[in-house]
Amino acid sequence: MDDDMGSGDDGGLRSLTGDTQIDRIVAVLDGLDDVPVPEHVDVYLDLHARLSSELNPEQRLRQAGAHGAP
């Protein structure tokens, strides 16, 4: 993987994106080698949903019905 990934010298997560919350979400990929291959799709789907929610707050509002739908 890329040299920028993984833990920093201080034991903390190195910033990959400059956004701590996004880095935490993406960090789940660090453990992907320990997940059986047939389960990778579930990891990626969850990752996509979490990133979409974090990067597009309006989507969260629409999903919650905040757009005025009953």
Residue 3 has pLDDT above 50, yes or no: no
DSSP per residue, 31-53: GGGGS-GGGHHHHHHHHHHHHHH
Q: Which two tokens stand for residue 69?
A: 């739908």
Could you tell me which of 24, 22, 21, 30 has the C-alpha nearest to residue 2?
Answer: 30
Total domains, the chain = 1
pLDDT band for 37, please (50, 70, 90 cuts).
very high
Which sign, positive or negative, has the C-alpha torsion 5, 9, 11, 16?
negative
CA torsion, ordered 28, 38, 60, 63, to nearest 10 deg: -160
* pLDDT on residue 21: 92
Q: Which domain holds residue 42?
A: 1-70
